[in-house]
Structure formats: C-alpha cells, structure tokens
A and B are shown apart, each in its own frame.
Chain A
C-alpha cells in the first residue's frame, strides 16, 4: 500500500532531550516536507527536500534539523526541544516539487509534547 509512515505517533519528552521523528515513503517520491499544525495557525512548513541531499528551510525552521540521505526517508530532528515545539507534526511527500500538479501525501501525524 502506498503510504507515508511517521513514527512515533505520540511522544512526550522533556526540555533539552534530543529526539528524532522518522518519516518514510514507499512511493519513490522526490519531494518530502515537514509541517507543524497548531490550533488557530493551520499547517506551517518547517523544512522541505526537493531530492536526495537537497533540503531547504520552510516558514518555521528554527529549532529543527532534517536530513535526506536516501530518497525514502526524511527524519525530523529536534536537537534541544522546548515547550513551544509542542505540536502536531506531519510529514508529506509528492511525486515532484510542491508547485507541480501532484498532490501531497501526508502521514498520520506525530503528536509531540515537550514539558
């Protein structure tokens, strides 16, 4: 089944403890991206990747890192999480760039709580 898989679904951590949220897609998509969704603010892009080894900042990149060593994987890294990073995170992929007429396929989200 074609899908975007994020892990974990739920994560509770403490301030400053490094964490990684994994994202994997099995559709051979070139484009992958990370979003956070907060009440009243909608979806905001954190980072995106047009292809392997090509990543760029989105609208809210501060406090996050990403890497794209393989086409299928696009992990989101929080080196030193803070409470303002408590949010619902989504990974997405599409066949080509975000402007092309190919839809984004989203994972089912990771709910992160930082205390």
Chain B
C-alpha cells in the first residue's frame, strides 16, 4: 500500500533558527515528490516538485532534498520567519496506467515563535 509518513508531527522553533522536516514514502513506481505549505484556513501552496533525477531543489529559504534510493525527502527551512508558521505537506506521485496517483502525508505543523 502506498504511504507517505512525515515527521515530526509538529515542532516549535525560534525566529531566525533553521529546521528540517522529514518525509518517508513507500510509493511506487515513483513519479515525483512535492512539498506544499498550508497556512491556517487556506489551501496548500506548492513549494517544490522533484523528479527521480533531482537531489535538491530550492525555493527561497526552502530547500528540499530527495534520496530516491532510500525513499526519503527532507524540507529545510533556513532563517525561519514568523510567516513560516504553517503546515507542510509532503505529496508523492505514483505512475499509474490511467493517470498518476497522488498520496498525501499527514503534514508537519511548524510554529515559529519570536
């Protein structure tokens, strides 16, 4: 069964500090992996999309890594800001005959404190 597990479930960090979120998946055959940011009460917004051949992708202070061999990804937030307080969702796409299938992780809730 395709699964996406994220850790930790939640974390609190001080403004200006860095943090790393983890995503482990068992989805196959793999197509791509996405990270989304979801502010409270809003829809998720895409941060990065990585295919099998990409190890690292950045979007401003957000850097995602992918290890397709171990089926792990991480999202690193550099110099956190109060606006980074949100849930971060890892989504993995599997190749299917009738159109690919997305599997969503449960998300990591990040709270940045001043």
Contact = CB atoms under 8 A, between A and B. Distances in A.
Interface of A: 4, 40-45, 50, 56, 90, 92, 97-109
Interface string B45-77: 110010100000000000000000000000000
Nearest to A100: B100
Contacts of A109: 41-43
Given A43-B44, A98-B93, A99-B32, 4 more contacts: A43-B89, A99-B102, A103-B34, A106-B43
Interface string B78-114: 0000000000010001111011111011110000000
A101 B104 CA distance: 16
Nearest to B46: A103
Number of contact residues on B: which range applies?
A: 20 to 34
Contacts, number: 60
A97 B43 contact: no
A90 B87 CA distance: 15
Contacts of B104: 42-44
A41 B106 contact: yes
Contacts of A100: 100
A103 B98 CA distance: 19
17 contacts: A40-B106, A42-B106, A43-B44, A43-B89, A97-B99, A97-B100, A98-B100, A99-B32, A99-B94, A99-B95, A103-B34, A103-B46, A106-B44, A106-B45, A107-B43, A108-B43, A109-B42
